[in-house]
Amino acid sequence: MSEVREHDSVCTDNSDEFPYKVPGQYFYEGVLFNQDVRKSVLESRDSIECREDDVFIVTYPKSGTTWILEIANLLLHPEKLDGGSEAQERSVPFLEFHLTGGSVDHIENMKKMASPRLIKSHLAEHLFPTQAFTKKSKIIYVGRNPKDNAVSYYHFYKSVSGFGYYKGSWDAFLQMYLKDHIVWGGWSHHCLGWWKHNHESNVLYLKYEDVKKDERGTVEKIASFLGKEVDQQTLERIVTHCSFESMKKNPAVNREDAADVDSSVSPFMRKGIVGDWKNHFTVAQNEQIEQYYKERLGNTDLQFEW
């Protein structure tokens, strides 16, 4: 098990240090959230009912969530390859999320769903429903290297209403990122918290960079984890369907028309590559994040490529 040090296990309310505020900003147990995250879900995590055959896709934001969700959805329901895609936000509940002013209650919807349920979340490990651990629900976690993740999250901040269509500079955003002053909490705390469960039989820990290297192998790995036998033809169809190029053209997963996303600023699915950080980081900024990475992950066995 990786060593998780004290400064990685608790974030602090450092709002005074950073003037930018996201809409409805609040801290809960050391993690920054915006108005789109239901505090009631965080407060009731010990009573949220989970099932043994639940499948949770858990990620730090902008780490391939939609991609892995689509793969898992098609493995659980291969008939959807022929029946047309249903928008993910309607077919897959987002555990802790709601659009402000909206009427969707994902917890209530989850209770009505047939098993196996596929559920999405960005919650840190220490805020996750306790029954998911005690009942050994299946959890697929996806982490992404902090350089590309920071860039992708920056563009997401700029294009989504829940982040207030961030207008600040890239450098100002990076400083918030490095100090864990970011919605859903600090990157290192999130990745390391879930890494503690890496060797548990009900947890599959994936890295975005590995998925990009071997998409077909990833589909096979997820199928095996879910206990699904898939014939070669279906496997190839899922791989093709879930390529970044195909998904970017698929309105069911690429939320170009979503009311809360300004795709003219940055599309929901932007580039999906490894190494885009080189187009954004200055030498000084790269040195900063290298130091951050060394301090947070240097003494652990969790390592990322970029």
* Strand spans (E) along the chain: 26-28, 31-33, 55-59, 118-121, 138-143, 203-207
- How far is 102 from 138, CA to CA, in rounded Å? 29
Extract the tokens encoding 163: 């982040």
- How far is 131 from 236, CA to CA, in rounded Å? 35
Amino acid symbol at 84? G
**For residue 190, what are the CA distances in angstroms to 63, 123, 290?**
12, 8, 18
Amino acid symbol at 113? M
Extract the tokens encoding 9: 């296990």
- How far is 13 from 239, CA to CA, in rounded Å? 42
Catalytic residues: 122
